[in-house]
Structure 1
Amino acid sequence: MAFLEARNVVKRFGGLVAVAGVSFDLEQGRIVGLIGPNGAGKTTLFHLIAGTFPCDQGTIRFCGRDITRTKPYHVCRAGIARTFQITRPFDKMTCYENVVGGLIGRNGFTGESHKGRREVEELLKFVGLWEFMNTEARHLNLIHKKLLEIARALATRPKLILLDEVLGGLNTGEILKALDLIRAIRDQFGVTILWIEHVMGALMQVAEKLLVLDGGRLLCQGQPQDVVNDSRVIEAYLGETDD
């Protein structure tokens, strides 16, 4: 039984087929990259897994359970959390309060218990936001907002986290710190990671497998070095072939 299993998943928006019969298995404990050109269907696939959009066809199973048409909050409680390419913090709430939101979604925590407060504080320390605990999210810079999204997602105690371009807009030093954090999410929390990213050099350092979407279809999948040397991927995403 696969940890996450997608079979012939389809999503249409009118006459546009954004995801066209995608099938793949995701193994538990892996860091897997999801790549492809803009408009390939990557974020739409995330929406389908997270329950934001319903599938028009196909099935998605998580830990043996069919979640194809499950509401997003039930998907979250089943163990799937996500971040967004465009960060979506609660701007007028502090970092502490934003992370509390993740706990509330999980089990009704109100922020008053000693155990709950300690968990929020530990997550803020883990992502490097301890000093911003009482800072409203609207005052954070881009990297700190991305870190806050990760902390809030981890507060739900996920088994799987969907990361959507967490490196976008970061400088080299910030990217290296983010890669260490991504490794730690898997190694310290035991969370499986499915990660959309365009910074290929960074992705190649961390990902153990790559899935490639093009035009809503799964073009190929496999070991990162094999995938980036595949002529189909080079032509569709990385650059033109010499032929």
Structure 2
Amino acid sequence: MAFLEVQDVVKRFGGLVAVAGVRFEIEEGRIVGLIGPNGAGKTTLFNLIAGTFPCDEGTIRFCGEDITASKPYHVCRKGIARTFQITRPFNDMTCYENVVVGLIGRDGFTGDTAARRHQVEELLEFVGLKDFMHTEARHLNLIHKKLLEIARALATRPKLVLLDEVLGGLNTGEILRALDLIRAIRDRFGVTILWIEHVMGALMQVVEKLLVLDRGRLLCEGDPAAVVNDPRVIEAYLGEADD
């Protein structure tokens, strides 16, 4: 039984087929990259997995359970969390309060104040935001907002995290810091990661498997080094070379 199974999934927006019969499996404990040109359907696929959009066809199974028709909050409680390409913190709330939102959204949360504070502080320290615990999210810079989204996602105690372009807009030092954090999410918490990214040099340092989407279809998948040298992938990104 695969950890995550996406089986012949289709999503249409009017006459546009954004995701066209995509099928793949992800094993537990892996860090998997999802790449493709702009408009390939990557974020739409995330929205299908997370329950934000309903699938028009196909099924999605997580830990052996069909979650195809599940609402986003049900998907989250089953163990799938996500971040967003454009960060979405609660701007009028502190970092502490933002992470509490993740805690109260999960199954088994008791609401015990001391336990809650300990868990929030632990997560903020893990991502490097403990000194910003009482800072409103509106005052954070870009990397801190991205780190806050990761902390909020981890607060739901996920088994799988969907990362959507967490490196976009970061400088070299910030990227290296983020890569260490992504590795630590898997190694410390045992969380499986599916990660959309355009910063290929950084992505290739971490992922163990690559999936490539092009025009809504799964173009290829497999070992990262082999995938990025596949002529189909090169053509999808750069166009067909002149003879």
Q: How far, CA to CA, are the matches of 2:239 and 2:123 in structure 1?
A: 40
* Cα distance in 1 for residues equivalent to 2:110 and 2:140: 24
CA distance in 1 between counterparts of 2:188 and 2:20 reads 35
Give ranges in structure 2 of 5+ residues lacking alignment: none
1:191 maps to which residue? 191
The equivalent residue for 2:37 is: 37
What is the match of residue 100 of structure 2? 100
Deviation at residue 177 of structure 1 after TM alignment? 0.3
Are the aligned partners of 1:33 and 1:197 in contact in 2 as well (CA < 8 Å)? yes
2:52 corresponds to: 52
CA distance in 1 between counterparts of 2:161 and 2:241 reads 34
Three-state SS of the structure 2 residue aligned to 1:138 is helix
Cα distance in 2, alignment partners of residues 22 and 107 from structure 1: 30
The 1:108–1:25 alpha-carbon spacing in structure 2 relative to 1, beyond 3 Å, is closer
Residue equivalent to 1:223: 223
CA distance in 2, matches of 1:121, 1:110: 17
| Corresponding pairs, count | 243
In structure 1, what is the equivalent of residue 141 of structure 2?
141
Give ranges in structure 1 of 5+ residues lacking alignment: none
**Which amino acid is 2:45 matched to?**
L
**Partner Cα separation in structure 2 for residue 109 and residue 100 of structure 1:** 10
How far apart are the structure 1 equivalents of 2:169 and 2:79?
A: 28
The separation in 2 between residues aligned to 1:58 and 1:150, in whole angstroms, is 29
> Which aligned segments of 4 or more residues in structure 1 are displaced greater than 4 angstroms?
108-112
Percent identity of paired positions between Structure 1 and Structure 2: 84
Distance in 1 separating the partners of 2:227 and 2:45: 20
1:46 aligned counterpart, secondary structure: helix
CA deviation string 1:26-78 (max 9, x = no partner): 01000000000000000000000000000000000000000001000000000
**Change over 3 Å in CA distance of 1:116–1:15 after alignment to 2:** same
CA RMSD in angstroms comes to 1.2
- 1:21 match: 21
**SS of corresponding position for 1:32:** strand
Hey, what's the Cα distance between the residues in 2 that align with 1:239 and 1:77? 42
Structure 2 equivalent of residue 151 of structure 1: 151
Structure-2 separation of matches of 1:140 and 1:108: 30
Instruction: Using the TM superposition, name which of 36-45 and 229-238 deviates more.
Output: 229-238
Note closer, same or farther for the CA distance 1:63–1:98 as it changes in structure 2 (3 Å cut): same
The answer for the alignment partner of 2:119 in structure 1 is 119
SS of 1:40's partner is: coil
TM-score w.r.t. structure 2 length?
0.98
The structural deviation recorded for 1:107 is 3.5
**Could you tell me how far 1:241 is from its partner in structure 2?**
3.6
Give the 3-state SS of the residue equivalent to 1:206 in structure 2. Answer: coil
Q: Secondary structure at the match of 2:233?
A: helix
Preserved CA contact (<8 Å) 1:231 1:241: no
Please give the secondary structure, in 2, of the residue aligned with 1:205. coil
Deviation at residue 156 of structure 1 after TM alignment: 0.1
Q: How far apart, CA to CA, are the structure 1 residues paired with 2:18 and 2:51?
A: 16
Opposite residue 101 of structure 1, the aligned amino acid is V
Distance 2:240 2:127 in 1: 38
Question: Bigger shift: 113-122 or 72-81?
Answer: 113-122
Whichever residue aligns with residue 145 of structure 1, its letter is: K
Kept after mapping to 2: 8 A contact 1:18/1:216: yes
Describe the SS at the equivalent of 1:10: strand
**SS of residue in 2 equivalent to 1:53:** coil
